[in-house]
Amino acid sequence: MKKVAIVGASGYSGEELIRILLSHPQAELSAATSRQYAGQTVAQIFPRFAHHPRAKALRFSEPRAELLDKEAQIVFLALPHGVAAEFAVPLLQLGCHVIDLSADFRVKDPSIYKDFYGHDHPAPELLSQAVYGLPEIYRAEIQKASLVASPGCYPTSVLLPTLPLLKAGLIKPAGIIANSLSGVSGAGRKAEPDYLFVECNESVRPYSVPRHRHLSEIEQELSLAASEPVTIQFTPHLVPINRGILTTLYLAPEQHFGDAQAMDNLAKKITACYQTAYGEEPFVRLLEGKALPDTKNVAGTNVIEIAWRLDPRTGRLIVMSAEDNLVKGASGQAVQSMNIICGYPETSGLI
């Protein structure tokens, strides 16, 4: 049993971490901080967890790094970017493992961070030791990491379907388009008019066009996979569901497939590529036959669904993915990293 703490446990990612960790067979949730709720029990603030004895016993505490190390060996940071780094520095010094769900340690280049997040990086000296927490790609590195930068929700939905194809040279690094649809929990528990029920219900809308912050980490990882700088088009949209991201990727295969045989050949290569990359992965579901991804099939799980189609009319490869933005896109994936660090079965607490 490892003692784990959550700093910033009152947002949606924090709440989801609580949900997962309360049921995790090898983790004891020893602390959860929240300025707003300090002193109240987890059961009081989140009644849905009140049937867990631990939720009745655990009180939210003030976020103080110096206290956390006594309480936890693993600390999850579910804080806004900028603030997360402030906690990571002392916690690492005190010997904790830190799994950060913010954007603070995802982008290796502090100038790109500044470019996308609008302020100087708060702890550039830590960037070299941070590991990008995509287990299917960086499992070995995560195992040894003391600081994990858990990926963003959109990046996870874009990278998992794309990286194997890029690495295998099956698609061109140029011209990638990612069209994403996100549930409203992706905006966080922010009391802003744009996210009121009446404003989101019966509404579908794009936002942050053409330059969403998640581009910084997406392009970093695509570039690493392609061994050349990659720039992509990424358009997020808000859709009226609580949880889920559906991403549709428009990709250009390196190989033309003008006739049926070429198409068949290419299809076999793509099948083999995904099978090699994810055939044994517990949380990647490669859809078969006529099945297409659907957020309702992954809601509440740490699974990402992936399906693809070749279009002989346009010569493109369409890849589609579905995930729960709060689980595989945030808290579930962070716990997956914890499992790896601690040497637990990777699915522990997640299936």
Of 89-97, 117-125, 294-302, 337-345, which segment contacts its own copies by CB under 8 A? Answer: 294-302
Is 153 part of the annotated catalytic residue set?
A: yes
Cα–Cα distances in angstroms (integers) from residue 304 to residues 153, 158, 218, 297, 298, in the given order? 11, 11, 17, 9, 7
The answer to whether 298 contacts its own copies (rule: CB under 8 A) is: yes
In angstroms, give the least distance from the CB of 70 to its own copies. 29
Q: Give yes or no for a contact between 75 and 98, defined as CB atoms under 8 angstroms apart.
A: yes
Pick the binder of its own copies from 125, 144, 210, 261 (CB under 8 A): 210
Please name which of 217, 210, 187 lies closest in space to residue 200, comparing C-alpha atoms: 187
Pick the binder of its own copies from 83, 123, 177, 273 (CB under 8 A): 177
Of 57-65, 100-108, 114-122, 310-318, which segment contacts its own copies by CB under 8 A? Answer: 310-318
Cα–Cα distances in angstroms (integers) from residue 203 to residues 195, 211, 214, 235, 293, in the given order? 11, 22, 23, 16, 22
In angstroms, give the least distance from the CB of 153 to its own copies. 14
Please give the biggest Cα pair distance in the chain.
67
In angstroms, give the least distance from the CB of 27 to its own copies. 16
The answer to whether 330 contacts its own copies (rule: CB under 8 A) is: no
The answer to whether 242 contacts its own copies (rule: CB under 8 A) is: yes
CA pair distance 224, 163, nearest whole angstrom? 9
The answer to whether 240 contacts its own copies (rule: CB under 8 A) is: yes
Backbone angles phi, psi at 276, to 5 degrees: -65, -45
Pick the binder of its own copies from 195, 254, 342, 348 (CB under 8 A): 195
Q: How many chain residues bind its own copies (CB under 8 A)?
A: 75
Of 75-83, 84-92, 302-310, 331-339, which segment contacts its own copies by CB under 8 A? Answer: 302-310
> What track of x and - describes contact with its own copies for positions 243 through 282 (by CB under 8 A)?
xx-x-x-x-------------------------------x
The CB-based long-range contact list for 64-67 (8 Å cut-off, 24+ gap) reads: 64/33, 65/90, 65/91, 65/94, 66/90, 66/94, 67/31
Which of the residues 13 through 42 are near its own copies (CB under 8 A)? 23
Pick the binder of its own copies from 196, 227, 264, 268 (CB under 8 A): 196
Position 325, amino acid: N
The answer to whether 233 contacts its own copies (rule: CB under 8 A) is: yes
In angstroms, give the least distance from the CB of 299 to its own copies. 6
The answer to whether 314 contacts its own copies (rule: CB under 8 A) is: yes
CA pair distance 117, 129, nearest whole angstrom? 20
What DSSP line would sit under 153-170, residue for residue?
Answer: HHHHHHHHHHHHHHHTT-
Dihedral (C-alpha) 301, 298, 179, 164: value to the nearest 10 degrees?
70
Pick the binder of its own copies from 316, 335, 339, 346 (CB under 8 A): 316
The answer to whether 50 contacts its own copies (rule: CB under 8 A) is: yes
4 beta partners: 29, 74
Pick the binder of its own copies from 1, 35, 38, 51 (CB under 8 A): 51
CA pair distance 118, 173, nearest whole angstrom? 27
Of 61-69, 126-134, 155-163, 228-236, which segment contacts its own copies by CB under 8 A? Answer: 228-236
Half-sphere exposure of 268 (CA within 13 A, CB side): 5
Token pair of 79 as six digits: 């804080």
Of 68-76, 86-94, 259-267, 288-296, which segment contacts its own copies by CB under 8 A? Answer: 288-296
Residue in 96, 153, 273, 342 annotated catalytic: 153
Q: Which strands form 97-100's sheet, in the order they lie side by side?
A: 27-33, 2-7, 74-77, 97-100, 147-149, 130-132
The answer to whether 239 contacts its own copies (rule: CB under 8 A) is: yes
The answer to whether 112 contacts its own copies (rule: CB under 8 A) is: no
In angstroms, give the least distance from the CB of 96 to its own copies. 29
Active site residues: 153
